[in-house]
Amino acid sequence: MKKTALIFFLSISTFLLNVSALEVDRDELAEGEDGIEFVNYEGPHTVINTRPEIYGVGTYLGTVSVEKGRWYSYHGKYSVIHAVDPDSNTLLDADIFVIHEDAGVDHIRNLRLMVAGYLEAQYEYSGEDADLLAEFITVYNAVYRGNADYMAGKYKQKVTGYLQPQKIGLARVYSDWPGKTMMLIPLSEKAEKGRLSSLSSDELTEDEVIEELRQDDGMGLESRRDIVELKEREVDEAQEEIKEELEQLEEEQKRLEERQRELAERTPADLPEDEREAEEEEIDKQIQQIEERREELAAEEEEQEERIERIQEEREEIAEDTATVLQEEGETAAGIREIIREEGEAEEGVNKTLLLKVKDISGELMGTLIYVDRETGEILRESSLNVIRQRWFGEIDKKVIVLAGREGRGGAVRLLKLNGETLETETESEDEIHKNSMVFVSGKDIFAVYSQEGDWKLGKYDMELQRKASTDFEVDPVTAITLEGSNLYIQDTRGRIRIVSQRDLKAVN
């Protein structure tokens, strides 16, 4: 993805950050920035739900066991239909998000919260990816509101069979949502938990949707950049899966060929002829299946290459639109376009600073690492990891060490090592770390409090996040860690100060 990354870098953002510290808090996206003008209710409410409560509507719908075609309802107000037909591969599957007559949602922000909660719970999208996709889902459904012909040409009959023409999509006025809304969430063929490409981001960014975004004064640039980055990560995921499967096929074929050689050396006395022929026939069949799968993977590789080209075109269009916006704001776009045309300029040459962007997620401060242009404040790169804890990160030999994760819902808190350039995860510790543990770095030694059979111990980790030593006594999980000379000073569970050797964490004296 280097070519598309270069175009992204050369695109000049209109959203400038006020960089005054190492922590940056991102404001909520304002309604209307996406190019679609939704009319929301703005006035007194008899009941005011909190953000977690609204988000919880979606997470509830996403955590119930999904069966094909069954309706799952939240108190008769919101439902999701999981419309999937595995026997048909020509068109799209979909989840259908239904707003019933008794629903009280009257603001696009809250509707997107529900959809994001559903995506995070059902497909394990990160919070930021879920928010982004929820935004595009609402815009997409507003663009194709009531367009039954379009939906019939895009979705399987399993999906369209549930749709009522007058309810298709999302109205732009909140009063037309209850009882009149069936939003489609387009799914890929491989929709499953933990896959970036569970949703069809290409369908969500059809030309009509992008053109709608471009009607806004800011041309929807921030959201368009974000969705393109998601697509790039989807391609990386797909290419890695193809590579891994090809390696597995290679190993399996070697095993089968070795068995063929063994059978050829067997005599009728060792193995009856009919049994050998039957096994040889089965092996030939399996090898043929491997070859057929290789051809399918080759086709998938070609599809990904074509997708890279389309993403490149999207990046170029975003860059041109960025120049247009800047020109309208009085900036000189000619210089920007000249930079875009230049070749060979590496992103490493950017005068950039690594920052932690922090936001409150359900009462906990969670961070995302970003590279910011020191002159303009433009975000040049953003990590997909968005649950960094303790408002802390450490840089060692072009790597970044963080404590990240959250407890509950299958989550865990661990030490992670990130690539210092891409900001993506390379390694994570096997040990679970206390969510409020201090992380202390000395040279290439990393110290943190981990869980061992219910006890909290101080552990020493190397750059591969392998534990090399630990205390033989319990420590206070939120102990401070202080280094003096070659010794560490920490606090045990009784509040006593304990002195341990930095080398092996054994008690001193």
Q: Residue 18 pLDDT more than 80?
A: no
Query: What distance in Å separates the CA atoms of residue 120 and residue 57, rounded to the nearest whole number?
Result: 12
Contact yes or no for 318/11 (Cβ under 8 A): yes
Q: Is 458 within 8 Å of 449 (Cβ atoms)?
A: yes
Radius of gyration of the chain (CA): 27
CA distance 20 to 67: 50
Give the whole-angstrom CA distance, residue 466 versus residue 429.
6
Nearest residue to 443 via CA among 387, 403, 488: 488
pLDDT at 167: 95
pLDDT tens readout for residues 89-147? 789 999 999 999 888 888 899 999 999 999 998 998 988 899 999 999 999 999 999 99
Least confident span in 108-112, 184-188, 335-339, 347-351: 335-339
Q: What is the pLDDT of residues 250-282, one digit of tens each?
A: 999 999 988 888 888 877 777 788 888 888 889
Contact present, 467 and 457 (Cβ < 8 Å): no
Tens-place pLDDT, residues 404-442 = 887 765 678 899 999 888 888 888 898 999 999 999 998
Position 46 scores a pLDDT of 57
Q: Residue 362: its pLDDT value, please?
A: 65
What are the two backbone dihedrals, phi and then psi, of residue 226, each rounded to the nearest 5 degrees? -65, -40
Predicted local confidence at residue 45, as pLDDT? 58
* Separation CA 475–CA 356 (nearest Å): 28
Answer yes or no: are the C-beta atoms of 69 and 147 closer than 8 Å: no
Residue 30 has pLDDT above 50, yes or no: no
- Distance (Å, whole) CA 415 – CA 431: 8
User: Per residue, what are the HEC states of 68-97?
Assistant: CCCEEEECCCEEEEEECCCCCCCCEEEEEE
Residue 197 has pLDDT above 70, yes or no: yes
Residue 346 pLDDT greater than 70, yes or no:
no
- For residue 10, pLDDT over 90 is answered with no
**pLDDT digits over 235-249, tens only?**
988 988 999 999 999
User: Are 415 and 433 a contacting pair, CB within 8 Å?
Assistant: yes
Domain 347-501 has CATH 1.10.10.10: no
Per-residue model confidence (pLDDT) at position 352: 81
Measured between its terminal Cα atoms, the distance across the chain in Å is 55
Q: How far apart are CA 75 and CA 103, in angstroms?
A: 9
pLDDT value for 71: 62
Question: What percent of the chain is helix, strand and coil (3-state, nearest 5)?
Answer: 40, 25, 35
Residues 153-186 have pLDDT tens digits of 999 999 999 999 999 999 998 888 999 999 999 9
Distance CA(416)–CA(385), nearest Å, equals 10
| Angle, helices 273-328/221-265, rounded to nearest 10 degrees | 170
What 3-state DSSP class applies to 412? strand
Q: What is the pLDDT confidence band of residue 60, given thresholds at 50, 70 and 90?
A: confident
> In 3-state terms, what secondary structure has residue 112?
helix
The whole-number average pLDDT for the span 196-206 is 90
**204-231 pLDDT, tens digit each:** 999 999 998 888 878 888 889 999 999 9
CA distance 307 to 232: 9
pLDDT at 21 exceeding the cut of 50:
no
Domain boundaries, the chain: 36-213, 347-501
Give the angle subtended at the CA of 378 by the CAs of 372 and 384, to the nearest 5°: 60
Q: Give pLDDT, residue 35.
A: 52
Asked if residues 481 and 490 have their Cβ atoms less than 8 Å apart, the reply is: yes
pLDDT at 340 (0 to 100): 45
At residue 175, the pLDDT reads: 83
Q: What percent of the chain has a predicted confidence (pLDDT) above 90?
A: 38
Q: Which residues contact 276 (CB under 8 A, 6 or more apart)?
A: 263, 266
Tell me the pLDDT band of 492, cut-offs 50, 70 and 90: very high
